[in-house]
Chain A
Amino acid sequence: GIQVEQSPPDLILQEGANSTLRCNFSDSVNNLQWFHQNPWGQLINLFYIPSGTKQNGRLSATTVATERYSLLYISSSQTTDSGVYFCAVWGSNYKLTFGKGTLLTVNP
């Protein structure tokens, strides 16, 4: 099946810093989503971005489908950004396959 690799696995930031999270995938995809799992366990939709660039406030994402990667940018990070960020892709196996996530900790 399709492989999804996220990096870095862990990231510690001071409040106000910027960061870039990366998602690599092994095959062509029809769908790519970024989620934030908050400390209460909720999976919150950030972006549905099979290709191109989208922005939502301090967050933006870019997917380059031809090169099989996606990037999530977080600017001016806040403590509420802490949690696990997941990339998930829908490929030819007709399933949404998740990466292992990036654990982000933002310290005040």
Chain B
Amino acid sequence: DAGVIQSPRHEVTEMGQEVTLRCKPISGHDYLFWYRQTMMRGLELLIYFNNNVPIDDSGMPEDRFSAKMPNASFSTLKIQPSEPRDSAVYFCASSSRLAGEQFFGPGTRLTVL
């Protein structure tokens, strides 16, 4: 298996622009997680899906952030409008069961100028 795939790997944008991050989970994994890593806050869970349905979005920072999972092999995390404080590395992870081992993608490094 190719593992969790994320794109783009790097994104540089200007404040106010819309940003879309993409994730393909490991085939057969029913759980998909989005995390954000910053120096100040470390690694924190933003949202997770089970069978394409959002289960817990309490970590999403504000309404500018939204996530979707239209099918079992694709998820997006969108920021609109982006702000400099959104600069971080965003990871996607997947798992075959709720408390099971999570496997992480390579991450997307987002820089908002």
Contact = CB atoms under 8 A, between A and B. Distances in A.
Interface of A: 30-31, 33, 35, 41-43, 45, 48, 86, 88, 90, 94-101
Tell me the dominant secondary structure on chain A's binding face.
strand
A43 B91 contact: yes
Interface residues of B, number: 19
Tell me the dominant secondary structure on chain B's binding face.
strand
B98 interface: yes
Q: Which of A30, A43, A86, A94 has the most CB of B within 10 A?
A: A43
Given A41-B89, A43-B104, 15 more contacts: A31-B100, A33-B102, A42-B104, A43-B91, A43-B107, A45-B104, A48-B100, A94-B98, A95-B59, A96-B33, A96-B45, A96-B102, A98-B42, A98-B43, A98-B44
A94 B100 CA distance: 11
A41 B43 contact: no
A87 to B, nearest CB: 11
Contact of A101 (B42, B56, B100): B42
